Amino acid sequence: MSETEGAIFVAVTGDLVLDEPDAGYWLSGIAPALREADITIGHLEVPHTASNVEVGGDVPAPGAPPENLAALPAAGFDVVTLAGNHIGDCGAEGIADTIGTLDSHGIRHSGAGSSLAAARAAAVATAEGRRVAVLSYNCVGPEEGWAGPRKGGCAYLPITTADGSPVSPTAPLEGVSPVAADILREDLRSAQDEADFVIVALHKGIVHTPSKLAPYEREVAQLAVDCGADAVISHHAHIVRGIEFHNGRPIFHGLGNGCVVTSALSPDQDHPARKEWAERRKKLFGFEPDPAYRLAPFHPEAVNAFIGRIEFRTGELPRISIVPVFVEAPGRPVLADATQGRAIYDYVERITRDAGLPAIRIDADGRVEPLS
């Protein structure tokens, strides 16, 4: 039997913000690797809608052009996760518009909907006769964007704050509520009835900060594995994080930016809240973006990116690898060359150690293994 016979390969990417014209161009630098996979999953960060509604709780992202979603299937995406801190920024109407357009393009989705039940339902994709279910949860708030029994919004896992304040992206997020285990057990049980493998996607972490994991992050990711997830993927920080294995299952603590091209983070704009945040985040997180990256003004280390690859075989633990990606100015991700690739492998090994995670090794082909 060949090394790949009987396996299915799932590609996973981080945040997607496609605000700019010609979305296909911005994705084209990584599309060859996305199309190679049997199933490709990304995280859609903002609603795609013409609505001008703005919901409070976080600095509101503008609705992205609905027509830009046509670039997703063309680039190879099959599934998007939606549970995050910005998907509800244009209210229930923005979520409904986004889902309607995704459906029209045949893109499966999980994590947001017209009710909490809809938001918690798994997206299921099939390849080579095997079914992969994807569950998506927001861990960082804002609470205003959470779905309810009859309220549109996103699925969430309750995280406690250190000072008892409401859950929001700037709150001191600390621990995992016991209710989170009940949610994961129930949803994973349902997903396992539908699929052969289940991936849990978590919107979590500390934005714009290399390496560091918040106190709750390993706990919630490992809890997902303990409740039955075959793999855990994460996004939100806009910079990649370390990788660990728990009970033999891979956890990507942060996939960084899949493709983020937007003017909403520019200090040169008319929207007062977004303009203020563009300046304040630099002081809060201690970085100055390279002015050449006008559409992706993130921490300078965010140019080191990757696509995760998960290899599933029936009856075996998943194997993983990473495809190194370099982000070119003004924000376009491209597949890294050999020199850039080795530097990105070294970077991921280092930030894994710096986060206090067990050490990993990434070989010349991008395969990731624990050292112990």
- Asked if the structure places residue 251 within a domain, the reply is yes
Among 207, 213, 252, which residue's Cα sits nearest to residue 58? 207
**Domain tally for the chain?**
1
Read off the amino acid at residue 212: K
Q: Are the CB atoms for 119 and 111 separated by under 8 Å? A: yes
What's the pLDDT score for residue 268? Answer: 85
What's the pLDDT score for residue 303? Answer: 98
pLDDT at 137 over 60: yes
| Of residues 183 and 2, more confidently modeled | 183
> Residue 5 — very low, low, confident or very high, per pLDDT cuts 50/70/90?
low
> Residue 269 — very low, low, confident or very high, per pLDDT cuts 50/70/90?
confident
Question: What is the sign of the dihedral through the CA atoms of 352, 355, 357 and 359?
Answer: positive
| Of residues 269 and 370, more confidently modeled | 370
Cα separation values, 101 from 64, 261, 276, Å: 12, 20, 31
CA angle at residue 158 from 152 to 162, to 5 degrees? 130
The pLDDT of 242-267, averaged and rounded, is: 96
What's the pLDDT score for residue 1? Answer: 33
pLDDT at 56 over 60: yes
Average pLDDT across the chain, whole number: 96
What tens digit of pLDDT does each residue of 188-210 get?
999 999 999 999 999 999 999 99
- Asked if the structure places residue 1 within a domain, the reply is no
Least confident of 14-28, 42-56, 218-232, 336-350: 42-56
Residues 6+ apart with CB under 8 A from 44: 16, 80, 81, 82, 87, 98, 102, 109
List the beta strands (DSSP E) in 192-255: 197-203, 231-235, 243-246, 249-252
Q: What is the C-alpha separation between 371 and 210, in angstroms, rounded?
A: 22
The pLDDT of 125-139, averaged and rounded, is: 98
- Asked if the structure places residue 300 within a domain, the reply is yes
What's the pLDDT score for residue 327? Answer: 98
pLDDT at 64 over 70: yes
The pLDDT of 258-285, averaged and rounded, is: 91
What tens digit of pLDDT does each residue of 331-364 get?
999 999 999 999 999 999 999 999 999 999 999 9
- Asked if the structure places residue 2 within a domain, the reply is no
What's the pLDDT score for residue 4? Answer: 60
> Residue 2 — very low, low, confident or very high, per pLDDT cuts 50/70/90?
very low
- Asked if the structure places residue 354 within a domain, the reply is yes
Least confident of 81-85, 297-301, 368-372: 368-372
- Asked if the structure places residue 197 within a domain, the reply is yes
Q: 104 burial class (0-12, 13-18, 19+ CB within 10 angstroms)?
A: exposed
Question: What is this structure's pTM?
Answer: 0.97
- Asked if the structure places residue 124 within a domain, the reply is yes
- Asked if the structure places residue 3 within a domain, the reply is no
pLDDT at 3 over 60: no
What's the pLDDT score for residue 59? Answer: 86
Containing domain of residue 317, as a range? 8-370
- What's the CATH number where 346 sits? 3.60.21.10
